[in-house]
A and B are shown apart, each in its own frame.
Chain A
Amino acid sequence: MDNTDNIPETLKRRILDYGDELLKRKAGEDTAKVTTLRNEALEHFSQNGFPTRKMERWRNSKIIDNLSESYQLYEEQPSHDRKDFCCVIQDFDTEVITMYNGRLADDNILRTLDNGIIIGSSRAAMIQHPDLFDKYFGSCRTDEDNGFYDINTALWQDGFFIFVPANVTAEKPVQIIKLIDNVNNPLIQTRNLIILEENSNLCIVDCDDTMSNNASLVNSFTETVIGENAHLETYKLQNLNNETVFINSNTTKQLKDSSLMSCIISFNGGMIRNNVHVDLDGQGADTQVYGLYLMDKKQHIDNQIRVNHNVSDCNSNERFKGILDDEATAVFNGHVYVAPDAQHTNAYQNNSNIILTSSAKVNTMPFLEIYADDVKCSHGSTIGQLDEEAMFYMRQRGISKANARMLLMYAFAAEISNNIKIDKLQERIDDMIKRRLKGELSSCDTCVFHCNTPKEYNFEIDLSKI
């Protein structure tokens, strides 16, 4: 069994050994809750291991087949340069948290802002604010047994922590710049916790980037609790190398009249899996989950979106769009659950794809599971090519074939990026979408915002305000 044909088994054994050692070593630092959850998770992982392709939600995933034996659990932290973290968006005033290979890289690893907002390291938050941490840590449900969740819960070392107290509106967006230096093939477990107390407001810009072209496995898990009448906007920008396996899991719990706006933009990445799980636990809660993926070569993206309408009078809207070139593959699995008493539910989900080649592939499955009778739910999905009629129509007006293609692809993608509410960020992302569609944006060796040409990119045609 112990051969390269069975990497998950080999990796599993190494993870279990490492976990046993870690639990002994860290026993004194963790809170009681964290210790309990670590033990449970390790035990669960020992029994269940990695997910397999026999599982419905992993049936079309390429991730299991592409794990590497080379991942280092005891990674030495390579040295890094502060300037790698700078953001090139002009006049984009944010509260920045920097992370390097899954650990806080700021000088002050946990800071409290004037208005009482706490931001920084999740490990430091556990140590400095154990009661607050334990109240929320592990409180968000997941909907599936998933070995990656277990590994994260058992082995996490650090991550980011954001706490917004009641009645506070964060003045600036919190921007998390996460760099992965793949040079030592790290297996990185990032554990993040976001807490919005009642009547608070927060915007998060979350950037994941790789710095070299080696393989790595990034297993990130974020728990978010949005209190009554609290509002969270979150933008995730993924720009990773082709050897990275990135598992981005998010579980969110929303209370009464709260709102979530989540926008995940996947520019690049060898294998990306976005798990988004939202529990609507209070009446009047609203959730908007948007995604855009632009994949080429042999890249693989897998969006698994689950929204549970557990109570009545909530809204949810899922829209994921993708453009696939070369031999890229995409999976979309949208699942809306409506509980028996969740009347007046409004739920919509849609996944649309453009495939540019005959070798690109999409598996899409929007799914509704409804047990209430007074609801409005719908879903749809499309997979198509660029509209040939529209192409000729534009060319007949003198627009070149290349620009007509760009115009169609950009118009398709802009339906998602138009939802970005911060103008500066939207401009930058639109610019990156154009570069990506022109094939000029690859996973840079630095952060998404450190592109070599920070000035606005000019097309032959102006697509900026379509």
Chain B
Amino acid sequence: MLFSIKNLHVSIGGKEILKGFNLDVNAGEIHAIMGPNGTGKSTLAAAITGREGYEITEGEIWYKGKNIIDMSAEERANEGIFLSFQYPVEIPGVSIQNFMRTAINAKREYQGLPPVSMVDFLKTMKEKQAMVEITDKLQNRFVNVGFSGGEKKKNEIFQMAMLEPQLAILDETDSGLDIDALRIVANGVNQLHTNDNAFIVITHYQRLLDYIVPDFVHVMYDGRIVKSGDKNLALELEAKGYEWVKGLMG
């Protein structure tokens, strides 16, 4: 198994947000996690990626045979865990090109490899930008500064393509996207999806799942998964609404 969360309890400032979360993900699978606002979806993403301030009070997160809860955020990233941010952060003064080169070389160093050559790096940049239909102009701009909502999300998928993670978490990647950008982002994800990697797609709406077809859909409520099923569960949820989820809690 590539990734497994067992009975995860996470608190922020003493308030428990995740209350016994379980999830098993095999390589090659796409899992969708759906649920209403404030149910702990973004907390889950933060806990998996090692954000500080999220206290794991109980449970384990297993990835490639290791419990990663004591790893730093950068170690987890270099082990191949990637988060596409719901709100990508602007970094004035740092160009995308140098940001990516720094990130790739950090990963290569972690793997004991020499830094990437400039020629190879630029070639890869060009290929991956084409995948998400990003123009060359963006590469010299500062990270996310002045980007439209669509450009920011495309930039996330571009970074994912550059870093080639084994486990990618897409946190509300569809929010703020028009239908064209949604299609481009989804195409990027589908091209990157192989039998060796896995995706966890966090979303409010079924719409994204028309483009990125999940193997499993999990409905999350109040800090844990309350129902799992195949892609039809998303349609059922869309039809019945989140009030139905509250009923499931019984």
Interface residues of A (CB under 8 A from B): 387, 389-390, 392-401, 403, 407-408, 410-412, 414-415, 460-463, 465-466
How far apart sit A414 and B90, CA to CA, in the bound complex (Å)? 17
Would B73 and A392 count as touching, CB distance under 8 A?
A: yes
Would B72 and A389 count as touching, CB distance under 8 A?
A: no
Inter-chain contacts of A387 with B (CB < 8 A): 89, 91
Inter-chain contacts of B163 with A (CB < 8 A): 397-398
Is B99 an interface residue when CB atoms closer than 8 A count as contact? yes
Inter-chain contacts of A390 with B (CB < 8 A): 89-91
Would A403 and B73 count as touching, CB distance under 8 A?
A: no
Would B105 and A392 count as touching, CB distance under 8 A?
A: no
How far apart sit A463 and B99, CA to CA, in the bound complex (Å)? 9
How far apart sit A304 and B33, CA to CA, in the bound complex (Å)? 56
Inter-chain contacts of A415 with B (CB < 8 A): 92-93
Inter-chain contacts of B105 with A (CB < 8 A): 461-462
Would A400 and B106 count as touching, CB distance under 8 A?
A: yes
Is B148 an interface residue when CB atoms closer than 8 A count as contact? no
Would B95 and A466 count as touching, CB distance under 8 A?
A: yes
How far apart sit A220 and B70, CA to CA, in the bound complex (Å)? 55
Inter-chain contacts of B98 with A (CB < 8 A): 462-463, 465-466
How far apart sit A465 and B88, CA to CA, in the bound complex (Å)? 23
Interface residues on B, range: 20 to 34
Would B91 and A396 count as touching, CB distance under 8 A?
A: no
Inter-chain contacts of A403 with B (CB < 8 A): 102, 106
Would B77 and A397 count as touching, CB distance under 8 A?
A: yes
Inter-chain contacts of B94 with A (CB < 8 A): 407-408, 411, 466
Would A466 and B93 count as touching, CB distance under 8 A?
A: yes
- A414-B93, A466-B98 in contact; A392/B106 too (CB < 8 A)? no
Would B89 and A389 count as touching, CB distance under 8 A?
A: yes
The total number of A-B Cβ pairs within 8 Å is: 83
Inter-chain contacts of A395 with B (CB < 8 A): 50, 72-74, 77
Give the nearest-CB partner of B115 in chain A: A462
How far apart sit A28 and B90, CA to CA, in the bound complex (Å)? 65
Would A393 and B74 count as touching, CB distance under 8 A?
A: no
- A407-B102, A461-B102 in contact; A397/B159 too (CB < 8 A)? yes
Is B166 an interface residue when CB atoms closer than 8 A count as contact? no
Q: List 19 A-B contacts (CB under 8 A).
A: A390-B89, A395-B50, A395-B72, A395-B73, A396-B74, A396-B77, A397-B77, A398-B78, A398-B106, A400-B74, A407-B99, A407-B102, A408-B91, A411-B91, A411-B94, A414-B93, A415-B92, A462-B98, A462-B105
Inter-chain contacts of A392 with B (CB < 8 A): 51-52, 73, 89
The contact of B72 among A401, A408, A461, A463, by CB within 8 Å, is A401
Inter-chain contacts of B83 with A (CB < 8 A): 396
The contact of A411 among B52, B85, B92, B107, by CB within 8 Å, is B92
How far apart sit A413 and B163, CA to CA, in the bound complex (Å)? 28
Would B91 and A461 count as touching, CB distance under 8 A?
A: no
How far apart sit A407 and B101, CA to CA, in the bound complex (Å)? 12
Inter-chain contacts of A412 with B (CB < 8 A): 93
Q: Which of B78, B82, B92, B106 has most A Cβ within 10 Å?
A: B106
List the 6 shortest-distance A-B pairs measured between CB atoms, nearest first: A411-B93, A398-B77, A397-B103, A393-B89, A395-B73, A398-B106
Is B197 an interface residue when CB atoms closer than 8 A count as contact? no
- Give min CB distance, B173 to chain A, whole Å: 15
Give the nearest-CB partner of A412 in chain B: B93
Give the nearest-CB partner of B49 in chain A: A396
- Give min CB distance, B66 to chain A, whole Å: 17
- A392-B51, A465-B98, A466-B98 in contact; A399/B106 too (CB < 8 A)? yes
Inter-chain contacts of B103 with A (CB < 8 A): 394, 397-399
